[in-house]
Amino acid sequence: MTGHKTKTALCTIAFRERLLEYSLDIAREAGLDGVEIWGREPHIAEQYDENRIAAVRRMVAERGLEVAVFGSYLRFGAVKTESMGLRDVLQTAAGLQAPIIRVWASDLGSEEADEDIWQETVLQCREAAHSARKMDMRLAVEMHSNTLADTAESARRLVEKVDCENFGLNYQALPSVDDDAFARLEHVLPWVYHLHAQNYAPLDGNPGKLERVALEDGVIDYEPLIERLCSNGYDGYVAVEFGPSNAGDKREAVLRDCRYLKSIRR
């Protein structure tokens, strides 16, 4: 797979129960290019903290890594969930030298949300994107359940309505044996800024109940997904987000996933 330009990263949320240094050490051991910094304690403060951010930036740089993404909890059009503040998020991302900020589109599913929620979310997304553009940063909305980006169609609708050159998507495959991850990617391909990699398999043979498994063992084939991204000029990151649900040795399982991504990105 010569010619691929993707980089590999570890989302530090994979070890959210540990201090940040633990995830950074694993990313370095695996020979990854960068990390996505989880936007909550104990990895970073949820409010802007200049000294804390400088310390995180130093720890990342000392390990020869880049900050690929700031995994914030900035949520636009939220109805039930408290969001992080836009100014705190932008300042934190700038201090981390993160080119991309992961954000969220409301806390209602696309079919549940009425037109008022859609309009308010789009407005807030657009205003935030304009602010981020002044700081040379991009916003990547997480494709996730219980948000306006819960399907490929709704995610595309969102980015087209926001219509800002620095507003795109954080692609994730659905945890479903019925989902066509390739078709899902194809539908939103021009707007993918970042990719979270996780995989699933039926639990005890029951296709209606899935568990997270190693990236190379599940229902999603990541090799053609990454190839398609690269054929479209993608030069961003592919990031291990979580380890398998029931790994006996979580550290080794995450390292295995990291090495797998490295093996298919070249």
Locate 155 and state its tokens.
């995610």
- Cβ count within 10 A of residue 26: 24
pLDDT at 206 over 90: no
Contact 200, 174 (CB under 8 A): no
Predicted confidence at residue 177, as pLDDT, reads 64
Q: Give me the pLDDT at residue 1, please.
A: 39
For 69, the enclosing helix (H) or strand (E) is: strand 66-76
Residue pLDDT, tens place only, 18-59: 999 999 999 999 999 999 999 999 999 999 999 999 999 999
Q: What is the pLDDT averaged over residues 230-252?
A: 92
pLDDT at 5 over 80: no
Confidence of residue 2 (pLDDT cuts 50, 70, 90): very low
Please compute the mean of the pLDDT values over residues 131-142 and round it to a whole number: 98
User: Percentage of the chain with pLDDT > 90?
Assistant: 85
What is the mean pLDDT of the segment spanning 203-223? 88
Residue indicated by tokens 């740089």? 61
Closest CA to 218 of 242, 185, 189: 242
Average pLDDT, stretch 245-254? 91
Domains and CATH numbers, the chain: 7-265 (3.20.20.150)
Q: Integer distance in angstroms from the first to the last C-alpha of the chain?
A: 5
Q: What is the pLDDT of residues 66-120, one digit of tens each?
A: 999 999 999 999 998 888 899 999 999 999 999 999 999 999 999 999 999 999 9
pLDDT band at 202 (very low <50, low <70, confident <90, very high): confident
